[in-house]
Homo-oligomer: A and B are copies of this chain.
């Protein structure tokens, strides 16, 4: 699998993300015409990600957002009940989107070695397709409410546990070295996060997500495999 294939299969676009969001949240959105909602949600999410990822969500004013979207501040409140609500909505949505895709792909394999390799690629490719969302989610995690934060911590723990379980299976099967599985999983997750946190740096150096994935795979294999 490479990124182009992944994209073709999943088709994560701004529009699909918004459609998905509308299906799950049409209760709390005052506007009812789907086409209008999609058009404006795309503007709002896009603008919020752009401004927040430049200077932080707290530093983004509703006026900033209004200018960037081309909507009035009044109009925006038809799509969310307040600034904090927008933040929580976005955090929640990123999580559910990402989790759903991971689960779909991870169910298909059983061999630990292939599972590990697949897992690496799926995570990298999702974070690439939704890079602004992942960056946002990471940098703004401090500001969300307790309930959401617990969910975020839980979700991150799950990701790490998936990696850990694969490593343990590999060790049991005699394929992997006897490293501390907890620590290995942590480090691997850090290397995955590096991709979306420093994406600009890699773009400047013209390193594609596929090349990054290949490199990661090679170094992880060299320290984890017997």
Contacts and interface: CB of A to CB of B under 8 A. Distances in A.
Interface stretch (A115-123, A164-172, A183-191): A183-191
A215 B56 contact: no
A17 to B, nearest CB: 24
A142 to B, nearest CB: 6
Interface in A186-204: 186-187, 190-191, 193-194, 198, 201-202
Contacts of A194: 186-187, 190
Contact of A191 (B180, B191, B205): B191
Interface residues of A, number: 31
A75 interface: no
A105 interface: no
A120 to B, nearest CB: 13
